[in-house]
Structure 1
Amino acid sequence: MSGYYWFSPRWRKVWSDLGGNKMRTVLVVLSIAVGVFAVGMVYSSYLMFQRDLSVSWRSASPASASLFADPFNEELVQSIRSLRSVKEAEGRRNVNLRVLTADGQWRQMALIAIPDYVKQKVNVVRHIAGAWPPGDGDVLLERSSLKAMGISQGSRILVETSLGHKRSLKVTGVVYDPSQTPSLFSGSFYGYISMDTLAKLDESRRLDQINLVVQPWVLQGQDTAPIAAVGRQAWRKLEQGNTTVSWLQVNKPGEHQMQGAINALLLLLAVLGVLSLMLGTFLLANTVSSILTQQVRQVGIMKSIGAQRDQILRMYLTLVGAYGLLAFVVAVPLGALAARAVTGFMAGMFNFDAGELEVPARVVALELAVAILVPLAAALWPVWRGTGITVREALTDYGIGGVEAQGRLDHWVDRGLERLRGLPRPVLLSLRNTFRRKGRLALTLLTLTVAGTVFMAVFSVRSSLYSTLDQALDYFHYDISVELAQSYQKNRIDQELLQVPGVKAVECWGRTSGRVLADDRPEAKTEASKNVFILAPPPDTRMIQPRVIAGRWLLPGDESALVVNTTMLKDSPQLKVGGPAFIMVGDRKLRFTVVGIVQGILTGPIVYAPYQWLTGAVQEAGRARSVQVITDSAAPLEQSSIGRNLEEHLKKDGLRVQNVEITWEQKKRIRSQFDIITVFLLLMAVLLAVVGALGLTGAMGINVLERTREIGVMRAIGASSLDIGKVFLVEALCTGFLSWLLGTILALPVAFLLSRQVGVLFLQNPLEFSFSFLGVGIWLGLSALLSVLASLLPARNAARISVRSALNYE
């Protein structure tokens, strides 16, 4: 302690301010640390995402493009590999079937057969544990599916083939496939088998997918057009081999398949960091201003004995810098640990490998700059204003002087309080004190209002996400959708399904895929074209309720009519109502007339054509590949049971079923994906609420110090400790209520803009906006709770002040 006296008096004062009021120091340090923590967490997370995601993605030698088709032989893979623009090509076989999970539910599963696991060169599946490669009758589970299925290595799984035969497969290992969408998002499980196992699953030893990598000289930065051109060449090669291609998937060079969703979450985290930093800055400015208000007399005494303004200015700025350094020491390790936790969570969610914890020098440098420079900038004006007071003004200051009603707002408050004379005196005093320091009130309200606005906006985003999902699924008015592996006679399907108990109505659709051509020129077949799914419902369908935004829906008797959705228009803007559309289906070029445009939501590029005309044009007249079912029960579990029964019935009758989708289960799965977004948004709101609560606590603490003499007067005229504590509690509640009111007003436009941006980032379409009054009610309760908690310690301190201590206060 002896070293303390080696400092000059001004620096001893700085040290005394730091240690003399430990609660104030903690509040100031926390207010700065929250912003530094958020910035460090976001920037570190971003750098670790880029590092780990890039390493995981590159390790798989990802495909430039993938083609999905009807089963074909290995010779076609070799023909595509021989193309000049193709560096490497490999084939796979995908088998969609049902698997019995640990909870007794039958779920969708994709089993992938790879001809040679040892010599993989494209979309490499990496061995993690257990056997390698899979043996005949064995399966290796993708790691994102292992935990979701509740299956352990060494156990057996029961699967049901497309013909209804049940087979038992032994789980002999675990693998990692970066090219697969994680089970959390896809709702499907992934397993890897040998080509020999295909026969046990009632499948032929053939391929149905080709993954190819283009030559380096083909690539032009991030442009996918050159890759798509090579993909169309491969498409034509497959068609020349009498194979129908259903889809061409083109990947952006060097970009993870879920990069868009990851970038959106990173953007939300960045917004969190910026808002936290801004509110921490406002809180610091408020606190520094309050400190100077409390120390007005000290400033006057220093000036009276010769201190210059610049000396006092440096002293207080040094104090702020010391606060910043303490915040830096607290925030850096916490930010690094939080970044590691966020990266680990994201790695598990998006299925990539998380690397070791790393704190790059540039992150530390940024945190140091934020901890020192931002607080100094925020404190500069309050310190400059506070140190400009004259000696006379400082020595005649009594804390409550100079705050008498002066402005129009003060007169409005006084008039309003005059009409509330029935309220208890402590409550009236609290209401008046709320507006006593309007500058401090504004900064306190700002932090709480922003927190409340974000919180309520998050609930509205959640409500909008659910509303969009409901609208998307209500687009299709059926309970169960069945996709068949091949086309069957419509009359046979109808007859079989109507025999299943619980099935109320059945509707068969045609289904195929093709490429939309730019025009009718012969060379358009080789030019840029876009994938499209073609659905062919009956024109008088009851299973779909499209939202027509231009033109009309299909009518009975229509021939070559086409209705396109808005998602399709993004890829093919040349399609206009009344204009032609040319679609290649296999080796057939079909000409349509666009009669309508409908809203597309969560459906991808889809066009609709009349069932009778399209099935005739593709030589599948009277046949169907897709069936929509309405059940006679609205109970979700009952619908799932009916779906299971009709799948078994079709398989027993020899119809190969590719997939059965229960609408309510699909909605539940997508909602769980949406919840990931709202969790991140709520994280933002909670952190901002913490900043707001700190601000309110600091403001109430300073109010107690400023009104020490006023508290003594109240004590002298008989006020109890409860009455004094109630004054500050009600004042905090008033501030909380005002912040809730302002936040509610601001939440509507902010929620609208945020919902729109989240929709564009995650779904490529603005969300169907729905304002959440539930969020408004929850934040009202939370703001009241935060106000009470923030006032407890200041109210307790105020209630413990004695008359003698109050009247001796300087």
Structure 2
Amino acid sequence: MISALDTLLIRKSIADVTRRKGRTLLVVLAIFIGVFGLTGINVFEFKIFDGFAFMQNRSSYPDITFIVDHLDPDVMKQFASTPGVKTIQAQMVGKFQWPTTTIGTVGMYITAFPDPQHSKLGKFELTSGHQPGPGEILLESNDTVLQPFSLNELIHLNGPTGPVQLRVAGTSRTPGLAQIKATKTAQGYMSIESLSQLLKISTPNSIAVKVKDIQAIQGTASALKQILHKHALTIEDTTIQSSIAEQFGSDFVTGFFNLVRTLAAGALIVSCFLLINTLTTLIAEQMKIIGTMKAVGGTQGTIIRGYLFTVLIYSLLGTFFGLLLGIIIGYIGALRFATIKGWDLGPFSIAPSVFLIGLLSGIALPLLAAMVPLINGTHITVREAISAYGVINDQANNRRWQRFLAEHLHWLPQTAWLGLRGIFRKRGRALMTITALALSGTTFLAAMTVKSSINEMALHLNDQFIYDVSVSSDQQAFSQPFAQLRQALSSIPNVAHIEAGTSAAINTPWGITYLQGIDSNTRVYRKSILAGHWLLPGERNVLLLDKDTLQRANLAPGARLSFSTDTGHRASWKIIGVLNDISPIVGFHGLVVTSTENVNRLVGNQEGSVNQLFIQTRDHSPASIKQTENKVQQVLQNMRLKFTVASKQEQAADDANSAMALYIIFYVAAAGVGLVGILGLYNTLTSSVLERQREIGICRSMGASSGQVARIFWLEGLALTLIAWLLSLLLGLPISYGFVTLFSQWLFPIPFAFDLWSLPLMLLVLISIGSLACFGPTVRASRVRIAETLRYE
């Protein structure tokens, strides 16, 4: 049952919220920013993970897919009885070319199931429109990234039998389709009757296979290929699942959001500082009121409950709007990101944990932080409370500092003296304000250091490679051997040299590492050997390791490195050398270099197979390289290969854009911490203006102008900012190093590159924060009337 005193305290709490509207707005805004940032990140992460998990969910998607010239019933029976095969399905697949107006011609797979309602593998979900009828096609919803389209629109394709025109009947989303979408290849679905007419075939031409053990997928695929060759079937295309890609993407997304969440937590900490300062000031102003409540029988616990109700009102307001806007912005951001990456996030959904974390950070954390000033402020006795003047009765605690300043800063102007003296009037509040500003500065410095480190890494990704155009395939190997590819591409006039490469991702004790196969007599790779020797022709089961990974793994030349591939192959190779190089692909935890023959033997490829080509041109001008790139692309299209062609300059630009996307988000998180820091300093100066009303009145009565009064509080804010900068100098370097270390552990290794120019830039940021925070309180102080200041109590 609520007592009369509790009712009175509730009414007082509401009055405290409504009476100081500016103070209420500051506290609510600080809580809002913290909850908004954390909720937005959590919603963004949840939807991205949800979409990523959908795309990687291969529980009902084929692990192996063969496209052949025709199917034999005996082949299907032998596939079904092969050890390691769990499920098989006959289907019809056609390979088409889709001329787009955005990125040129892209490939498209069109699949048709003999019995769509009872398909076991590769079944899709209809998201809009209807099932395709005669002359109609169903496109994946994220194919709009390749070419915008709408329902009932006619699209033009080039197929095996010539150009075709199809009407878009609807859109779909298919779980497990990540591997094909990563290559910018479109996916469509048709009825088997319509597709058979386009392909001029009457029976299925593809076998989809689900294996029992993904780690043994390569052995199963080899056994199935032997069956096809035994029956004299021509394999036109093969797709094999990569489990490492799934692990790699999941680890990257998790680590990235952990880093952003670490920065966003700073905003919550700074908002707690602001709340503690606010309550400390509120209690100091209401000492006599607290004494009166105790005199009429109020206990410390009852009084604390009353103030906690005030905090609860602040928290509910900030948390409600923070959750609402965080969900909206986070979801919009996830949709935008998914559109860029070609993902389909599916229907709107929010995890319950998002609300729970928002409530804990916006309500529980402020209530917990409020207990510190409330316990300290309400234990005062009735006599002490009644006799205290409140906010002015702190001179005894500051006399030592004032004497020190008076002795050493006597040459300062009076306005400067008054401004500096105000710093130490409330030492606890000043300490938290300085800490909050220093946290804002160090957060900004950490983001800048990560930017410098990523840029340093991006500048040297492909330093050791000497080529103009590269060709890479998402398949483990091109369907044609290197000799045939070299013969086809050598006819291009500007091509001077073509070299093969074979790459793979391997699991090592320290993470997923990039395995690069290179010709032992390479002309496209600089042999930057720091120790040991280069690959000898025919040398088996040996490798070279980059120096940073070697140090991190605590290995040395002569030792053996044990690793495994995503297809279940395990190996232990000897380290014969150390390289001054890094992984050419962002995100991998190191670089392992060996011969192309070693890689092919490891993953089970046929001798001479490649999945990379490095092309050197005669004319190195950008225009000539671009022209050569287009011709290479056309030749490989005619050979019906899945590939990506890019110049070295284009790859460098893509690396720079990827790096920019990373540290821009870190800057946004740091800006959130800085904004709460502005609110904290603004609140401190506003409280100082309210507490020093009589001092302002005396200064005005002695002839001080509005500008001089404003300068007092501006100097106070600037002094707090400079002290925070000095603290940031002490904390910035170790915190930045720690953040780069976390980045290297959670995402991928980057060198620690600290830019000395970031220190004065951090000072500029803090001065900007301080100036913005000082503007409102100084204007308010300069406009106070003398009569009002002398009446203030």
TM range, smaller chain: 0.7 to 0.9
Contact 2:392 2:691 in 1 (8 A): yes
The aligned runs of 1:541-560 (5 Å cut-off) are 541-545=522-526, 548=529, 551-555=532-536, 559-560=539-540
Q: Secondary structure at the match of 1:596?
A: strand
8 Å contact 2:109–2:188 — kept in the other structure?
yes
2:475 is aligned to: none
Q: Distance in 1 between matches of 2:667 and 2:200?
A: 48
Please give the secondary structure, in 2, of the residue aligned with 1:356.
coil
- The answer to whether the Cα contact below 8 Å between 2:710 and 2:781 also exists between their aligned partners in 1 is yes
Superposition pairs of residues 478-627 of structure 1, within 5 angstroms: 478-482=467-471, 486-487=480-481, 489=483, 493=487, 496=490, 499-500=493-494, 505-509=496-500, 511=502, 535-539=517-521, 541-545=522-526, 548=529, 551-555=532-536, 559-560=539-540, 562-565=542-545, 577=558, 595-596=576-577, 598=579, 601=583, 603=585, 607-609=593-595, 627=613
Q: Deviations over 1:17-40 (max 9, x none)?
A: 222211112222333344444555
**Quick one: structure 1 residues 387 and 355, their matched pair in 2 at CA, closer, same or farther if it must change by over 3 Å?**
same
**Which one-letter code corresponds to 1:720 in the other structure?**
S
Q: Distance in 2 between matches of 1:704 and 1:514?
A: 62
1:235 match: 222
The residue number in structure 2 matching 1:669 is 654
| Offset, 1:508 | 2.2
For 2:110 and 2:174, locate their aligned partners in 1 and report how far apart those are by CA, in whole Å.
Answer: 11
1:152-190, CA deviations, whole angstroms, 9 ceiling, x for partnerless residues? 5635457799xxx9967657354433323399x936242
State the partner residue of 1:642: 628
Q: CA deviation at 1:711?
A: 0.9
- Cα deviation per residue 1:752-801 (whole Å; 9 max; x = unaligned)? 33334334434xx3223333567656554443333222222211221111
Deviates more, 1:45-54 or 1:748-757: 45-54
**Could you say what the CA RMSD is over the residues aligned between the two structures, in angstroms?**
5.3
- Specify which of 675, 693, 711 is matched with residue 708 of structure 1: 693
Deviates more, 1:379-388 or 1:38-47: 38-47
Shift of the 135–760 alpha-carbon distance from structure 1 to 2, 3 Å rule, reads farther
CA distance in 2, matches of 1:355, 1:583: 38
**Is contact 1:179–1:257 with CA below 8 Å preserved after alignment?**
no
How do 1:340-355 residues align onto structure 2 when only pairs under 5 Å count?
340-345=331-336, 347-348=338-339, 349=341, 351-355=343-347
- Deviation for aligned residue 1:510: 5.8
Asked whether the 8 Å contact 2:441–2:728 carries over to 1, the reply is: yes
Q: Give the secondary-structure state (helix, strand or coil) at the position aligned to 1:769.
A: coil
User: SS at the partner of 1:88?
Assistant: strand
Q: Secondary structure at 1:628's aligned position in 2?
A: strand
**2:142 corresponding residue in structure 1:** 144
Q: Structure 1 residues 625, 39: CA separation in 2 closer, same or farther (over 3 Å shift)? A: closer
Offset of 1:703 from its aligned partner? Answer: 0.8
Against the structure 1 CA distance between its residues 346 and 660, is the aligned structure 2 distance closer, same or farther, given a 3 Å change threshold?
closer
Say if 2:127 and 2:173, in contact at 8 Å, map to a contact too: yes
Counterpart residue type for residue 704 of structure 2: A
Report the residue type matching 1:691 in the other structure.
V
Partner Cα distance (2:629, 2:301) in 1: 80
Q: Which residue of 2 aligns with 1:102?
A: 101
Question: Within the alignment, does 1:190 sit opposite 2:186 as a pair?
Answer: yes
Cα distance in 1 for partners of 2:561, 2:350 equals 57
Note the alpha carbon deviations across 1:83-116, whole angstroms, 9 max, x for none: 455332347899999865424x546545465665
Kindly provide the amino acid, as one letter, of the partner of residue 601 in structure 1: S
In structure 2, the CA distance between the partners of 1:322 and 1:583, relative to structure 1 (3 Å rule), is: closer
The Cα offsets for residues 656-711 of structure 1, whole Å up to 9 and x where unpaired, read as 79542322323333444444433443342232222212211111110111111111
Aligned length: 758
Q: 2:312 aligns with which of 321, 325, 336?
A: 321
Paired residue secondary structure (2:497): strand
1:803 positional shift: 1.8
8 Å contact kept, 1:80–1:86 = yes
Question: Residue 481 of structure 2 aligns to which amino acid in structure 1?
Answer: S
Tell me the TM-score normalised to structure 1 length. 0.76
Distance 1:379 1:467 in 2: 44
Residue 481 of structure 2: SS of its match in structure 1?
strand
Q: Distance in 1 between matches of 2:79 and 2:94?
A: 22
User: Pick from 734, 739, 742: which aligns with 1:754?
Assistant: 739
Closer/same/farther in 2, CA of residues 482 and 497 from structure 1, 3 Å limit: farther
Please list every run of 5 or more consecutive structure 1 residues that lacks an aligned counterpart in the other structure.
215-225, 518-529
SS in 2 for 1:755: helix
SS in 2 for 1:468: helix
What's the offset of the Cα at 1:749?
3.1
Give secondary structure in 1 for the equivalent of 2:461: helix
1:730 aligned partner: 715
- Name 1:218's counterpart in structure 2: none
Corresponding residue for residue 178 of structure 2: 181
Superposition deviation, residue 228 in structure 1 = 1.0
Matched, 1:768 2:751: yes
Equivalent of 1:450 in 427, 439, 450: 439
User: Which residue is equivalent to 1:526?
Assistant: none
Structure 1 residue 294: Cα displacement: 2.9
Residue-by-residue CA offset, 1:697-743 (whole Å, 9 max, x unaligned): 11111011111111112112211112212222333233334434433
Check conservation: 1:91, 1:114, Cα contact below 8 A: no
Counterpart Cα distance in 2 of 1:209 and 1:463: 49
Aligned position for 1:792: 775
Per-residue displacement from partner, 1:196-252 (whole Å, max 9, x unpaired)?
98999999x9979854153xxxxxxxxxxx431355334333245449999853549
**Contact 1:480–1:630 under 8 Å retained in 2:** yes
Deviation at 1:612, TM superposition (A): 13
Amino acid at match of 2:26: L
Alignment of 1:11-50 (within 5 A): 11-38=10-37, 40-41=39-40
Is 1:141–1:171's contact at 8 Å kept on the other side of the alignment?
no
- Seen in structure 2, the aligned counterparts of structure 1 residues 407 and 724 have a Cα distance that, compared at 3 Å, is closer
Which residue type is aligned with residue 642 of structure 1? Answer: T
Q: 1:452 touches 1:743 (CA, 8 Å); kept in 2?
A: yes
8 Å CA contact retained: 2:543, 2:573: no
State how far apart, in whole Å, the 2-side matches of 1:235 and 1:702 are.
76
Distance across 2 between alignment mates of 1:393 and 1:386: 10
Residue number in structure 2 paired with 1:221:
none
Report matched runs for 1:231-270 at 5 Å: 232-239=219-226, 241-242=228-229, 249-251=241-243, 258-268=249-259, 270=261
Change in CA separation of 1:801 and 1:575 when aligned onto 2, cut-off 3 Å: closer
Indicate how the Cα distance of structure 1 residues 166 and 684 shifts in structure 2: closer, same or farther if over 3 A, else same.
Answer: farther
Give how far 1:289 is off. Answer: 1.0
Q: Does the aligned pair in 1 maintain the 2:283–2:377 contact within 8 Å? A: yes
In 2, are the aligned partners of 1:481 and 1:663 still within 8 Å (CA)?
Answer: yes
Return the alpha-carbon distance in structure 1 between the equivalents of residues 743 and 450 of structure 2. Answer: 8
Q: For the Cα contact (< 8 Å) 1:456–1:772, is it kept in 2?
A: no
